[in-house]
């Protein structure tokens, strides 16, 4: 078997002496959609920030066989929230070139086409809806053809219809380009059907596996407490 696209060995993170993540070890294979779930304060965003090399940690993280710091150009990232002044007179195309000055017009158009936003290239960035702006952020994240796409609760600011479209776009990128996707989400029902594997975090690794095998009543109770309700959908 080929080496994993992400290898994590005994990952731990402490803030002010408090252990936020404890001794995580797992391998993520290339071309998979991986969902990360857990309650608030469980370490989900800390896990993402460690993979992105944004915080100090103990243990080892390798991206495509290399240390994190040497691999950042292989990762595209869509944050949970992206604040900007909507009155700034800037087009969608101009916004995208802010991060990638040397991006070719052809590549920019292709990225917008991938997220079904090609016709908005010359529209003011401030005129977009929340769902449309999230699509632009995805286009921005794939301009450098990343091996890995990291999405930190990127559907939190969009409605249900926009959320479904968002998942459809991510599934397209995964299928067509074999992009490995790591997705933090609270939408358990959606990721149950959408993800290849699921990481369940509550400061430590509660489970890691295929959703239909990993998401059990017992696991959900360890994550969210006794009151959690989950209805499995079979198709």
Q: Which stretches of the chain drop beneath a pLDDT of 50? A: 232-235
Element (H, E) at 186: none
Helices 160-177 & 130-141, crossing angle to 10 degrees?
Answer: 20
* DSSP 8-state secondary structure symbol assigned to residue 62: E
User: Residue 191: what pLDDT?
Assistant: 81
Q: How much is the pLDDT for 194?
A: 86
Specify the pLDDT at position 233.
43
**CATH code of the domain made up of 6-81+130-224:** 3.40.50.300
Domain range list for the chain = 6-81+130-224
- Model confidence, pTM: 0.87
- 115 backbone dihedrals φ, ψ, rounded to 5°: -105, 15
DSSP H or E segment with residue 78: strand 75-78
**pLDDT given at position 235:** 39
Nearest to 92 by CA among 134, 126, 125, 138: 125
* The pLDDT of residue 83: 77
């Amino acid at each position: 078997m080929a080496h994993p696209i992400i290898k994590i060995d005994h990952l731990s993170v402490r803030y002010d002496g408090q252990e936020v993540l404890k001794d995580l070890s797992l391998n993520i294979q290339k071309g998979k959609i991986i969902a990360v779930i857990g309650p608030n304060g469980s370490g989900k965003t800390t896990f993402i920030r460690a993979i992105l090399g944004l915080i100090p940690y103990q243990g080892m993280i390798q991206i495509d066989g290399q240390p994190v710091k040497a691999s950042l150009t292989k990762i595209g990232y869509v944050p949970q929230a992206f604040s900007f002044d909507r009155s700034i007179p800037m087009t969608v195309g101009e916004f995208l070139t802010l991060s990638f000055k040397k991006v070719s017009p052809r590549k920019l158009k292709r990225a917008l086409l991938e997220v079904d936003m090609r016709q908005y290239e010359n529209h003011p960035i401030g005129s977009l809806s929340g769902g449309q702006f999230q699509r632009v952020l995805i286009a921005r994240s794939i301009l450098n053809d990343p091996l890995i796409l990291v999405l930190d609760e990127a559907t939190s600011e969009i409605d249900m219809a926009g959320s479904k479209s968002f998942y459809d776009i991510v599934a397209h990128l995964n299928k067509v380009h074999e992009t490995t996707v790591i997705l933090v989400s609270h939408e358990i029902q959606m990721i149950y059907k959408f993800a290849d594997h699921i990481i369940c975090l509550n400061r430590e690794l509660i489970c890691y596996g295929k959703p239909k095998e990993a998401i059990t009543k017992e696991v959900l109770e360890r994550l969210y407490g006794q009151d959690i309700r989950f209805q499995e959908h079979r198709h």
